[in-house]
Amino acid sequence: MSTLRVAIVDDHAMFRTGVRTELESSADRVEIVAEAEDVDSAVAAIAEQQPDVVLLDVHMPGGGGLEVLRRVPSSAKTTFLALSVSDAAEDVIGIIRAGARGYVTKNISGPELLDALERVAGGDAVFSPRLAGFVLDAFAGTIEIAQVDEDLDRLTEREREVMRLIARGYAYKEVAKELFISIKTVETHVSSVLRKLQLSSRHELTRWANDRRLI
Amino acid sequence: MAVRVVFVVATWFNGAGVIAYLLLWRFMALAEPESSPGLESAERRGLRSGSRRRFGPKEILQTIAICAIGAGVLVLLQVTGRGISGSLLLPVLVGLLGVAVVWRQLDDAAWQRWMRQTSGWAFAARAAAGVVMIVLAGLYFFSQERGWSGIVDVASAAGIALVGAALILGPWISKLLGDLAAERRERVRSQERADVAAHLHDSVLQTLALLQKNAGDAAAVATLARRQERDLRSWLYGDEAQHGDSLVAALRLAAAEVEDAHHVPVEVVGVGDAALDPDVSALARAAREAMVNAAKHARVARIDVYAESDGRTAEVFVRDRGVGFDPAAVAEDRLGLKGSIIGRVERHGGTVDVRSAPGEGTEIAMRLPLRTTTDQETST
C-alpha cells in the first residue's frame, strides 16, 4: 500500500506538532506533505502539494474550514476530514455539507485518526458517534413519507439502523457483524448517508442546525 | 408603537401604509440570535463563516408579490375615485421609496458610516439632496392654488421639508445616538470581561494549580484535564442539556460523575430528549449504574452512552469494549446488574437487554415506554 499524502490545516501550532508526532510513528502509512495555519496558506498548500487527505480544522482565521472547502476547486482529487474541538452542530453539519467526508473530534487517538484518514482517502465516510447522533437528529422528524418526493430527504430504515449503531459506539466492522452484512455494505450505507447530508435540500436540516447551534 | 401609528396614518394615502409595512416587514434586518461566547468570539475573529442572510429567489418573488398587491390596491383606489390626485401621489410614492431604502439599511454598518460623515462628497451629496427636496417642496407649495386641497398641500410640503431637514441634521443625531449606544456596549463588555475573568479564576486557574500538584499521577491529571475540558466546553459552547431536567441532562451529569470517580471517559450522544418524570429518572439512574459497572469491571479506555427518545419510547444504550462476561453465569446475589439495572427499569414498565460475552465487551440496552407524549421531538 502506498503512503498517504496528508496535509494538516490547523491554526494551533501545538496541535499540528502533536498530530505530526503521532502520525510520523507510522511513517510507512502516512507522509505529512504540508502544514498550514490559515485559509490562504491552506488553499495555496493544497494547490501546490495536491495531498490525498487534508485534516481540516473547523475554526481558523480567514473564515474557517468552510472557506477552505469553498475555495479549493471541486475538481481537485483531495479529500477532507474535518476536525474540531467545538462540536457545534451548525459548524459540523455545515462543513460536511460543504464537502468534507467525515468529522472527528480533536481528542481522537492516534491509531483511530490513522484509520479515519485512510478511510476518507479510500472514498468512504467517517462518522463519529457524535456526528451519527447529529445526523439522526437532523433526519428525525415527522415528515410523512407521502410528503417526501425526494429520497434525499430521508434515511432508509437500514441507514437509520447503521447510524444508530455508530451512535452507540460500534465500529464499522461491529456494525457489519451486528446486522449480518459485510463491512463494504456498511461503508456503502454510510457514504449514502453522507451524500444525503450533503445534497438534501430538506429545509428542516438547515433549520435544525440553526436552531440547535450547540450540542 | 409610534411607527405603527405612522403606518396607519399613511394607509389613508391610497393604502400606501399597508404596502410599506409589508415591504419593511420583509426587508428589515432581523435581530441576530444570541450565540454562546465561544462561537461569537470565533465569528468575530473570522475563525468561522458567519450565517449571513442572503436573498434567494423565494425572497425576490415575495417582494414582487407584495409590490403587485400594492399596485393593485393603488389602481383600485384610483379607479373608484377615492384616491388622491396624481400630482400628490407621485411625490408620496417617491418619499415612501426613500424611507424604505433608508430603513432597510438601518442596521448596515457601511450605511451608518456614510450617514455619520460630516465632510467629503457623501456629505455634500446628502446635503444637496436635502436642499433640493426642501426647494421642491417650497415650489410645489407656492405653485398650488389655495382651497380645499390646500390643507393637504401644506401638510405634504411641510413633510418633504422635514425630510430634507432630517437628511441634513441626521448625521449629528445619528452620531449622538451611536455614541450613546457605543458607551452602553462598552459598559456591558467590561462587565462581561469581569465575568470571564471570574469564571477563569474559579475553574481553569484552580485546575492548573491542581495539575501541578498532581503532576506525577497520570490518571489524576487526565481526569482533571477532562473535567476542566467538559466544564469549559459547556461554558463556551453552551450545552442544551444543561438547562431543564431531561433525560440527556441526567445522563450527562451521571457520565461526569462516573468519569470523576473512575477515571474513564464517558461519551454521551443524545438524539431527542424526554422530560424527567419518575419513570425516566429511574431509567437515568439505571443507566448510571450501568456506566459504573462498565467503569469498574470492563477495564476499558472509554464508555459510549447513546440515548434516543422519540416521544413514545426512551432508549438508553451503555456500551463498552471491555472484557465482557457471561450473563447467564452472573451470580444471583450480584445486586448491581439484577437489582439496580434490570429490576429498576422493569419496575417502571421498561425492558433491559444485556448482551455480553467474555472478550467481546458489553452492551446494556434499556427501553422505556414514555407515559405522556411530550413535545420533545427535535424537528417538527
Mean pLDDT (chain B, rounded): 74
Which residues does chain B have within 8 Å of residue A208's beta carbon, measured at their own beta carbons? 378-379
pLDDT for B90 equals 66
pLDDT at B376 over 50: no
Number of domains into which chain B is organized = 2
Same domain, B169 and B76: yes
- pLDDT for A180 equals 92
Domain of B133 in residue numbering reads as 2-28+56-189
| Contact (Cβ atoms closer than 8 angstroms) between residue B73 and residue B22 | no
pLDDT above 80: residue A70:
yes
Question: What is the share, in percent, of chain A residues with pLDDT greater than 70?
Answer: 85
The yes-or-no verdict on residue B189 having pLDDT over 90 is no
Count the Cβ atoms, other than its own, within 10 Å of residue A211. 14
Task: Give pLDDT tens digits for B73-83.
Answer: 777 777 776 65
Q: Is residue B322 part of a domain?
A: yes
B182 & B261 share domain: no
B114 within some domain: yes
Q: Is the pLDDT of residue A182 over 70?
A: yes
Q: Are strands B266-271 and A53-57 parallel, antiparallel or unpaired?
A: unpaired
B14 and B117 in a common domain: yes
pLDDT digit string, tens, across residues A110-150: 888 888 998 888 888 888 888 888 888 877 754 444 344 45
Q: Is the pLDDT of residue A66 over 50?
A: yes
User: Does residue B133 share a domain with residue B22?
Assistant: yes
Partner-chain contact A204 B379, CB within 8 Å: yes
Q: Residue B203: which pLDDT band, with cuts at 50, 70 and 90?
A: confident
Domain boundary among B189, B205, B220: B189
Which residues have CB under 8 Å from B6's CB, separation 6+? B17
Are B291 and B357 in a shared domain?
A: yes
Please, is B85 exposed, middle or buried when counting C-beta atoms within 10 Å of its C-beta (0-12, 13-18, 19+)? exposed
- B296 and B359 share one domain: yes
Q: How far is CA B265 from the centre of its chain?
A: 30
Residue B42 is assigned to a structural domain of this protein: no
Q: Is the pLDDT of residue A32 over 70?
A: yes
User: Is B113 a residue whose pLDDT tops 60?
Assistant: no
Q: Which of B157, B174, B189 is the last residue of a domain?
A: B189
Chain A contacts of B317, Cβ < 8 Å? 168-169
Q: How far is A210 from chain B (nearest CA, A)?
A: 9
Q: Do A86 and B42 touch (CB under 8 A)?
A: yes
In a domain, B45, yes or no: no
Could you give the angle at which helices B16-27 and B57-79 cross, rounded to 10 degrees? 170
Q: Is A111 on the interface with B (CB under 8 A)?
A: no
- What does the pLDDT read at residue B245? 78
CA distance B357 to B361: 7
Cα–Cα distance for residue pair B309/B46, rounded to 1 Å? 36
> For residue A129, what is the nearest residue in chain B, using CA coordinates?
B269
Report the pLDDT averaged over residues A191-205.
75
* A58: chain B residues, CB-CB within 8 Å: 48
Task: Judge whether A58 and B48 are in contact, CB under 8 Å.
Answer: yes
Closest to A208 measured CA to CA, from A65, A72, A97: A97
Quick one: pLDDT at residue B144?
A: 59
Does any CB of chain B come closer than 8 Å to the CB of residue A172? no
pLDDT band, very low/low/confident/very high, at B378 (cuts 50, 70, 90): very low
Buried b (16+ CB within 10 A) or exposed e, B27-53: beeeeeeebbbbbeebbeebbbbeeee
What's the confidence (pLDDT) of residue A54?
92
Q: Which of residues 21-40 of A touch B (CB under 8 A)?
A: none
Does residue B307 belong to any structural domain of this protein? Answer: yes
C-alpha cell recorded at residue B161: 421639508
Q: Are residues B260 and B338 in the same domain?
A: yes
Would the ipTM clear 0.85, i.e. be above it?
Answer: no
Lowest mean pLDDT among A124-133, A172-181, B144-153, B231-240: B144-153
For residue B297, what pLDDT band results from cuts at 50, 70 and 90? confident
Residues B15 and B116 in one domain: yes
Residue-level pLDDT at A146: 39
What percentage of chain B carries pLDDT values higher than 90?
3
Report pLDDT for B14. Answer: 55
In a domain, B46, yes or no: no
Size of interface A-B (CB pairs under 8 A): 102
Domain boundary residue among B159, B189, B219? B189
Query: Can you give the pLDDT at residue B154?
Result: 72
For residues B166 and B64, state if they share a domain.
Answer: yes
Any domain includes B375 = no
Please report, for the domain that includes residue B268, its CATH number.
3.30.565.10
- What average pLDDT does the segment A167-193 reach? 89
A62 touching chain B per CB within 8 A: yes
Residue with C-alpha cell 455508530?
Answer: A166
**What pLDDT, in 10s, does the model give residues B311-362?**
888 999 999 888 887 777 765 556 667 778 888 888 888 898 888 888 788 8
Determine how many CB atoms are found less than 10 A away from the CB of residue B216.
Answer: 7
Is B236 within the bounds of a domain?
no
All structural domains of chain A: 1-123 (3.40.50.2300), 125-215 (1.10.10.10)
**pLDDT tens sequence across B10-38:** 665 555 566 666 666 655 545 555 566 66
Is A208 within 8 Å of chain B by CB? yes
Q: Which whole number is the average pLDDT over A6-29? A: 87
Give yes or no for A206 touching B (CB within 8 A): no
Instruction: Identify whether residues B322 and B251 lie together within a single domain.
Output: yes
pLDDT tens digits for range A89-109: 777 888 888 888 888 888 788
- Alpha carbon of A204: minimum distance to chain B alpha carbons (Å): 7
Together in a domain, B261 and B168: no
Give me the pLDDT at residue A135, please.
83
B260 shares a domain with B166: no
Helices within chain B (DSSP H only):
2-10, 16-27, 37-44, 57-79, 86-104, 109-116, 120-143, 150-200, 206-213, 218-237, 247-262, 278-297, 335, 344-347
Q: Report residue A74's pLDDT band, with 50, 70 and 90 as the boundaries.
A: confident
